[in-house]
Every structure is written in C-alpha cells, then in structure tokens.
Amino acid sequence: MPHPESSIERPIELLFETQTLRPDELLEAAQSLLDDLGDTPSAHGRMQCAYALRDAEGQLWVRYIISQGANQPWGIWSVDASSGTLPSLANVLPLLGWYEREIQDLYGITFTDHPEPYPLVLHEGFIPAKPPLQKGFDAKAEPIRGQAEPFAEANMVGSDIQRLPFGPIRADVVESAQFVFHYIGEGILHYHPRLFYKHRAMEARFEGVPISAACVLAERVSGVDSVAHVLAFSQAMEAALGWQAPLRAQAWRVVLAELERLYNHLQFFGHLAKTTTLKVAEAEGIWLEEQVKQINGRLTGSRFLRGMIVPGGLRRDLDATALIADLNALQPQIEDYLDTLANTRSYLDRLLTTGVLPRQVAFDQGATGPIERASDLDRDLRRDHGYALYPELQFAVPTATEGDADARARVRDQEIRQSLHLIRQALNKLEPGPICRKEQTIDPPMDGVMEGMGLGWAEAVRGGLIYAVHWNAKTERLTRVKIKEPSFSNWRVFPFTVNDSNMMDYAINEASFGLSVAGADR
C-alpha cells in the first residue's frame, strides 16, 4: 500500500526520536524492544545497527538506531561510553553482535558478555596498539602494517573432518574474501566467511570532508550500489540541514534508484544461471545487464549512475526522451527472459529447498532486502519509511514464505517487474521545475543530545541502507558518518543457511543471496 502523504510534506521533527540511556538501562531496553515491537503484527519494528562516535568534546558515545514500525519516527538510543565498557546486547539482539565487534575493533570499547568477542573488521596480526578511530590515532603517521596471524574459528576435530580455507583470492573475477569450510565428504559441518580483507576505512574517510566530496565518497563505498549510497547520504544531509529537494529531483531519484535495482537484479539472474550451469541463460542475463548499463551511460554519462544525486536534488537535469524508448525496447526481452527461467526445470531443481533461511533466524540475525522478504518478513523502506517520490507511487512489495534459493530468486524476479513499473510512473510525474535547492526550508530535527545529526535511508538493491551523519555547521564539515550496509547484515545471516548443507549447493546458495563484499567490508 502506498503511503498516503508525501515525504515532502512530512514534518521533519518526526524523523527520529533520541533518548539518552545509562549503560545499566541498556539490557532492559533491548528486552523491551523485543517485547513491545517484536516481529508482529506489522513486522516493522527492529534494531537496525549500533555505532560509536566522539562528540565535539571528544567524549565517546554509542548510538543504537531502531525502526519502531512503519511510518513511525526512528528511535535512537544514545549511551555514554566514556567508561570504555558497555553491556553486550548480542545475546538479546543477535544482529548487534557484529556491530559491537566493529566498535570494539575501531574504538576500543569492550562489550561485556559478548558471545563471540573476537576481532572482526581488523584482522589478527593487523591490530594496532591504539584503536584506529580512538582519539589520537594518526593514520598518516602510523597506518596499520602487519602480518597475518591465526584467527579464532570453530574447533572441529575428527578423523574424517576436512578443513578447506578458500581465498581470499579465489577463482573467477570475484571480490576478495576467505571462506573456511569444515566438511565430511559432501556435507558441510561448519562454514565461516572471513570478510574485511577489503576494509578500506570508508566511514573514517568522511571525517572532515565537505558535502560535495562526501557524495563522491558515498558513491565509492559499494560501486554497484552507488545510487542507494549517495541517495541515503544526501537524504541524511538534507535532514541535518533542513533542506528539501524539489519534486523533479525526487522523481529522478526514484528513476535512478530503480535503474540500479534493474541492472543489479539482471546480473543476479545471469550469475544464478551460471551456478546452475545454464550457459545461454547466463549470457542472456549479463547481456540484459549490459544493456541497462549502456542505458545508464547514455542517460547520465555514468554506467553506474554516478555523479547525479547530491543533497538538495541533482547536480544537473536529465532528459527522459531516450530512456522511455530504450525501456520500451528492453522490457519485453526482460520479461521473456524471466518467464523462461522460471519455467526451466533443471534450474528450479537446484534452487528449490536450497539454503533455507527460517523466518525467525532472518529476523534475529538481521536479514534485509530480498533475503528477508523471501523468508516472510514483509519490510521495505520505500513503503514503510517513504522517501523521494515513492509515497506518491503505486507498487507492490513481493514476498515469499519458503526462504529457499528459489524464493529469493522469485522475490527479485517480481522486484524487476515492479522497478520497470516504478520507473514509468516516476517519469510520468516529471514536471518542469528546478532540479536542486540548496537552502534551509524547514527546521532540522531536534536531536536533544548532539547537534547536527541527520538520518537518511534507502531500500538498496540488497536491502535496507541507513546513513547516520554528524555535521559541524561551523566548519561545514562532516564529523562522523555511520553506514548501515545491507550486505554487512546479510553476510552475517548467510552462514546459517550453509551449515549442515552440502558442497554441491554452496555456489548456488551464495549466488541466491547476491551479496556484495565491498559493501559489507566498507
């Protein structure tokens, strides 16, 4: 159901509610979150992420971002972390486990009773004496240098158990990551993805950067998610500054975001066809992806749709004429391709019942995007926390209940069709008018704890993406940017579908998740 009121008219003070909690209140608050919001009836309430930051005085805080339900303001808990120790919430809200470990690595804050208190973002052997985002760490003077050391992993002992560390450099043109399998014959006993070989300190790069350069950075966190990143960042900046992008820009933002979904999802099907050994279907999928990328190039000058979205609107106006003709030509090909795939028995045989993700695990571990929707969690930021022109448009949010690789593919199949529908609707709503407005038109939200906070989000191709920005109005520079990345969420979930599965299904299951390593590692 479309949201009745436009995001443009929604009062900005309802964007988020901040409350300060004492460390000893945290566990109770986490428990009450489950009791009060739960995953019923609307399945919209949930902890999103946690991050640390230093305020203007250098004091350490940890912030938790909570979705309080569809069209409700986001909740933010702000907790004084200057003691250097907080209770871990990972036993109550397992999806926080990785966020807490990241904070531990980068800020040196300890989380007591953490179920897996090992390094995550920084690898063993590359951990500096002083945490890199703690006050006084000078990246220029002493960048991290080290030698790989053994890491904590499952202790699997048995005469027939084999250990296979695969990567970080693997066959094919793929992103770097290491997968450690423990297996007997074909059966996988335990699977441990070792990520963060590509941790590039992207969040830290935003510190001290002005708006224009920050947009360039946001587009380079995860290249195939460039639009979603710069859109979420721009909306966060607009919230912090009280800016509102004009309607024409809001419509174009929908077009760009859906074009991004389109080429990514087509790539997804090409890759899934490859893992199920359908050579022609693989070629057709990536050929359709290429055609959308060429459309992107003709439309914006960038095959990744970069360099368009900025806080306030777009950098320049675009011409929709060729786009409509191009889409008219491509749509029947896309639909024919998807219909043919969905009727291919050998393909379905490999997907059905492969890599089942139960609904409760998806909820507890923080699955997002097509992954959670394929496991019967009906959430989509475009509908539940409407932004850009989405509240004005009609679209369905496809879901499935089975939670297997086939469900994940079917959800994306339907999303492609919805994207084409959304692009047409948004193009129909393009009225002549300004494309960018860089001025305060409404009051920025009241944080009550810290000045200059903005929150922005987008339903990226791979799920819910949130940018929390902290802005210094005097210097006109960013002081902290937190990126809640959907692949970070889904990589945490993925192993739950691999343990107790078999080697033959692994590649298909991984393809059905459609994960990005660059996004997760940041």
Partner 1 sequence: MPLWTWFGLKKGRATTGWPESAGSDGQEGVLGLPKLNADQCSEGAQGCTKCVTSCPSGAITLNVAENVTEDQEQHIDLDYARCVGCQLCTETCPSGAFSPSNDWAFAVRDRADLSRLARPATPDKKLEEKWQKSLAGFGRSLHIRHVDAGSCNGCESEISALLNPFYNLHRLGIFFTPSPRFADLLLVTGPVTEVMREPLLRTFEAMPEPRWVMALGTCATGGGTNGGGYACHQGLDGILPVDIWLPGCPPNPAAIIEALLVLLDRRPQQVHGGRHDA
- Which of residues 84, 146, 187, 208 is near partner 1 by CB under 8 A? 146
**Least Å distance between CB 305 and partner 1?**
11
* Dist. CA 110–CA 92, nearest whole Å: 17
Q: Closest Cα to residue 107, out of 92, 86, 78?
A: 86
Backbone region of residue 43 per phi and psi (left: phi > 0; alpha: psi in -120 to 50; beta: other values): left
* Dist. CA 214–CA 193, nearest whole Å: 30
Long-range contacts from 152-161, C-beta under 8 angstroms, 24+ separation: 152/116, 152/118, 152/124, 153/180, 153/192, 154/182, 154/190, 154/192, 156/182, 156/189, 156/190, 158/184, 160/184, 160/185, 161/189
Does residue 507 touch partner 1 according to CB under 8 A?
no
Does residue 212 touch partner 1 according to CB under 8 A?
yes
Q: Which of residues 440-469 bind partner 1 (CB under 8 A)?
A: none
Does residue 344 touch partner 1 according to CB under 8 A?
yes
Q: Which of residues 302-331 bind partner 1 (CB under 8 A)?
A: 302-304, 306-307, 315
Tokens at residue 67, please?
């979705």
Which of 108-116, 158-166, 211-219, 401-409 is the region at the interface with partner 1 (rule: CB under 8 A)? 211-219
313 or 403: whose CB is closer to partner 1? 313
Which of 31-39, 85-93, 146-154, 156-164 is the region at the interface with partner 1 (rule: CB under 8 A)? 146-154
- Which of residues 47, 66, 469, 517 is near partner 1 by CB under 8 A? 517
Q: Within 10 A of 392 (CB to CB), how many other CB atoms are there? A: 21
**Least Å distance between CB 187 and partner 1?**
25
The burial class, CB within 10 Å (0-12 / 13-18 / 19+), for 219 is buried
Rounded-to-10 torsion of CA 183, 187, 193, 194: 10
Does residue 204 touch partner 1 according to CB under 8 A?
yes
Number of residues that bind partner 1 (CB under 8 A): 74
**Least Å distance between CB 201 and partner 1?**
4
Backbone region of residue 502 per phi and psi (left: phi > 0; alpha: psi in -120 to 50; beta: other values): beta
- Which of residues 143, 165, 358, 433 is near partner 1 by CB under 8 A? 143
Does residue 128 touch partner 1 according to CB under 8 A?
yes
Does residue 176 touch partner 1 according to CB under 8 A?
yes
Long-range contacts from 8-13, C-beta under 8 angstroms, 24+ separation: 8/244, 8/247, 8/250, 10/386, 11/442, 12/239, 12/242, 12/442, 12/443, 12/444, 12/445, 13/443, 13/445, 13/446
- Which of residues 152, 154, 184, 283 is near partner 1 by CB under 8 A? 283
**Least Å distance between CB 304 and partner 1?**
6
Does residue 438 touch partner 1 according to CB under 8 A?
no
DSSP-assigned beta bridge partners for residue 457: 466
Which of 10-18, 204-212, 396-404, 420-428 is the region at the interface with partner 1 (rule: CB under 8 A)? 204-212
**Least Å distance between CB 428 and partner 1?**
23
The mark string for 239-278 relative to partner 1 (x by CB under 8 A, - otherwise) is ----------------------------x--x-------x
What separation in angstroms does the CA of 142 have from each of 137, 202, 479?
Answer: 8, 18, 21
* Dist. CA 112–CA 87, nearest whole Å: 5
Does residue 280 touch partner 1 according to CB under 8 A?
yes
* Dist. CA 143–CA 122, nearest whole Å: 13
157 or 173: whose CB is closer to partner 1? 173
- Which of residues 5, 36, 116, 287 is near partner 1 by CB under 8 A? 287
Which of 154-162, 190-198, 365-373, 467-475 is the region at the interface with partner 1 (rule: CB under 8 A)? 190-198
Does residue 516 touch partner 1 according to CB under 8 A?
yes
**Least Å distance between CB 254 and partner 1?**
21
Does residue 298 touch partner 1 according to CB under 8 A?
yes
* Dist. CA 35–CA 291, nearest whole Å: 48
- Which of residues 187, 297, 358, 448 is near partner 1 by CB under 8 A? 297
